[in-house]
């Protein structure tokens, strides 16, 4: 099990992505949060911030590549950042529910 994180600039796009992944059973659940991201501008060396929307979804680790490919096809010129972190411990009943309600691999 993993938490897949998808970082995108527009909240509207985040909602579209979350609904798409849920409709295709690629994630079990999704949460969407907008945060301030601080970065150093490589040209000016100034610290700048911007808003970024993060989708976090629980899913099976084996579905990561499918999610990544789907997003690469949908956003060929502006691919969102996609990464995952493992879920080490999870309630056994919730784990089974996640397995049953996501795509078979």
CATH number of 64's domain: 3.30.70.120
State the total domains in the chain.
Answer: 1
105 within a domain of the structure (yes/no) = no
What is 11-65 written as a DSSP string?
A: HHHHHHHHHHHHHTTS-SEEEEEEEEEEEE-TTT--EEEEEEEEEEEEE-GGGHH
Entry pTM:
0.89
CA angle 105, 14, 36 (to 5 degrees): 120
- Give residue 78's domain range: 2-100
Q: How does pLDDT run along the chain (105 residues), one tens digit per residue? A: 999 999 998 999 999 999 999 999 999 999 999 999 999 999 999 999 999 999 999 999 999 999 999 999 999 999 999 999 999 999 999 999 999 999 998
- Measured CA to CA, the distance from residue 43 to residue 84 in angstroms comes to 30
26 lies in some domain: yes
Q: Which of 98, 14, 100 is nearest to 56 (CA)?
A: 14
Residue 105 has a pLDDT of 85
């Amino acid at each position: 099990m993993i938490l897949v994180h998808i970082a995108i600039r527009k909240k509207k796009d985040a909602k579209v992505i979350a609904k798409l992944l849920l409709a295709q059973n690629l994630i079990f659940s999704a949460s969407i949060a907008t945060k301030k991201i601080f970065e150093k501008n490589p040209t000016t060396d100034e610290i700048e911030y911007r808003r970024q929307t993060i989708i976090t979804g629980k899913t099976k680790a084996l579905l990561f590549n499918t999610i990544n490919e789907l997003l690469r096809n949908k956003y060929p010129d502006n691919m969102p950042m996609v990464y995952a972190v493992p879920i080490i411990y999870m309630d056994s009943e919730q784990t089974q529910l996640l397995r049953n309600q996501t795509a078979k691999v």
